[in-house]
């Protein structure tokens, strides 16, 4: 198999999870998996592939800078990048022809375009997987050329061209298996949360690996109130953790301070932290939404306004409409956050109902379903 996709974790990690799942399935029946990852040089996907021991080949790619003004799309930078596309296709075609895969899996990002086109030029089966409700530019250009299309949401199907819709299946967005097996007590031990009051709900606040200044400020401004009703694990980003800890030391009394844990980054302990959390306050990227719904977590979502195609707002609206989360769109004040989180903290029945609706939106078996689609498209399987 050739796998391609990257540029961000949203495209890269679903691809990695699919590779791991396929490898595990084939190993169980005594068959090897020969996989090559094709991506951009010196990229997230190249580092992920290296860390996983997956062979990697690079191709050049161009970035299309989107704008609300179509005339500005024809900018010098876009023209220069678009001129690189033919070279990237030629490089990808050579790689695909030499490797001759049974199937090519593309998970989006600019690098997926030359590789997906090369797959079709070489008459190799192509599977396209979309993580968000609306297809990104790469997947939009490849979907009608694909052998099979896998999407993460039912809402995506009407957005596909008729030819692509005929080959499409809702698989969900793959999440790492370890996310599904967290243990709350392990989070208490590994993060030193023994002073948490377990009869109170626990709120997990996360703005992603680098943290979110917006979420950090909102939580900081309601922190004394919040800690009267809950324990808080706050993943705030490495650059912000010292400031928030200092604020907590000066603004909180001792009985409240011990129930606040600010941490720069949550790594291997993330599954356990999510298992401990009763309410999650977070952004609404595709990966985050996939994990929260696979686990069935009550959530307050504050979308990143600058996300590509406003995809985070679309994700948040979808869950809000289903009653699976509360979406805070537009301007968000500390008072608005407090008024939204408060009812979830004081009413366990409300939390439980939202968690059940979240779980109904989830696809914990998404990786296996994507592997099923991939194998169904592969030559000789």
Q: Do 177-361 and 2-174+365-377 have the same topology in CATH?
A: yes
User: Cα dihedral angle (52, 53, 57, 62), rounded to 10 degrees?
Assistant: 10
Q: Are 46 and 144 in contact (CB under 8 A)?
A: no
For residue 2, what are its two tokens? 């050739």
Say how far apart CA 88 and CA 129 lie, in whole Å.
Answer: 21
Q: What is the pLDDT of residue 305?
A: 78
For residue 275, what are its two tokens? 């298992």
Q: Are 300 and 279 in contact (CB under 8 A)?
A: yes
For residue 363, what are its two tokens? 């696809």
Instruction: Report yes or no on whether pTM surpasses 0.75.
Output: yes
Q: Are 196 and 232 in contact (CB under 8 A)?
A: no
Write b or e for each residue in 118-142: b if 16 or more Cβ atoms lie within 10 A of its Cβ, otherwise e. Answer: bbbebebbbbbbbbbbbbbbbbbeb
Q: What is the pLDDT of residue 79?
A: 57
Q: Are 345 and 228 in contact (CB under 8 A)?
A: no
Tell me how crowded residue 233 is: count the other CB atoms within 10 A of its CB.
Answer: 25
| Backbone torsions φ then ψ of 84, nearest 5 degrees | -85, -15
Q: What is the pLDDT of residue 189?
A: 96
**Residue-wise pLDDT tens for the chain (381 aa)?**
999 999 988 999 999 999 999 999 999 999 999 999 999 999 999 999 999 999 999 999 866 545 555 555 556 665 566 667 789 999 999 999 999 999 999 999 999 999 999 999 999 999 999 999 888 889 999 999 999 999 999 999 999 999 999 999 999 999 999 999 999 999 999 999 999 999 999 999 998 888 899 999 999 999 999 999 999 999 999 999 999 999 999 999 989 999 999 999 999 999 999 999 999 999 999 999 999 999 999 999 999 877 666 889 999 999 999 999 999 999 999 999 999 999 999 999 999 999 999 999 999 999 999 999 999 999 876
- CATH number for the region 177-361 comes to 3.40.50.2000
For the chain, domain boundaries: 2-174+365-377, 177-361
Quickly name the fold that domain 2-174+365-377 has: Rossmann fold (3.40.50)
């Amino acid at each position: 198999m050739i796998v391609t996709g990257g540029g961000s974790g949203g495209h890269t990690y679903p691809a990695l999870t699919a590779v791991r799942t396929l490898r595990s399935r084939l190993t169980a029946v005594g068959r090897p998996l020969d996989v090559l990852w094709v991506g951009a040089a010196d990229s997230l996907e190249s580092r992920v592939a290296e860390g996983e021991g997956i062979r990697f080949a690079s191709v050049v790619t161009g970035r299309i800078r989107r704008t609300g003004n179509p005339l500005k799309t024809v900018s010098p930078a876009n023209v220069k990048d678009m001129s690189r596309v033919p070279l990237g296709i030629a490089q990808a075609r050579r790689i695909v022809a030499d490797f001759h895969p049974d199937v090519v899996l593309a998970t989006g990002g600019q690098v997926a375009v030359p590789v997906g086109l090369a797959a079709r030029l070489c008459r190799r089966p192509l599977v396209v997987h979309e993580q968000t409700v609306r297809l990104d530019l790469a997947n939009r250009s490849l979907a009608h050329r694909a052998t099979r299309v896998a999407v993460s949401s039912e809402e995506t199907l009407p957005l596909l061209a008729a030819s692509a819709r005929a080959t499409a299946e809702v698989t969900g967005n793959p999440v790492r298996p370890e996310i599904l097996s967290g243990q709350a007590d392990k989070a208490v031990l590994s993060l030193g949360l023994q002073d948490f009051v377990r009869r109170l709900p626990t709120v997990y606040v996360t703005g992603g690996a680098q943290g979110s200044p917006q979420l950090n400020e909102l939580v900081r401004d309601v922190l004394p109130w919040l800690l009267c009703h809950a324990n808080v694990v706050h993943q705030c980003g490495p650059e912000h953790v010292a400031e928030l800890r200092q604020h907590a030391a000066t603004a909180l009394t001792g009985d409240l301070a011990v129930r606040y844990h600010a941490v720069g980054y949550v790594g291997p302990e993330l599954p356990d932290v999510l298992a401990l959390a009763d309410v999650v306050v977070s952004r609404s990227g595709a990966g985050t939404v996939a994990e929260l719904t696979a686990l069935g977590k009550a959530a307050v979502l504050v979308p990143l306004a600058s996300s590509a195609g406003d995809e985070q707002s679309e994700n948040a609206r979808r869950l809000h409409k289903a009653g699976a989360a509360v979406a805070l769109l537009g301007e968000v004040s500390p008072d608005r956050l407090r008024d939204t989180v408060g009812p979830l903290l004081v009413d366990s029945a409300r939390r439980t109902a939202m968690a059940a609706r979240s779980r109904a939106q989830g696809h914990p078996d998404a990786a296996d379903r994507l592997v099923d689609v991939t194998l169904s498209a592969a030559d000789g399987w």
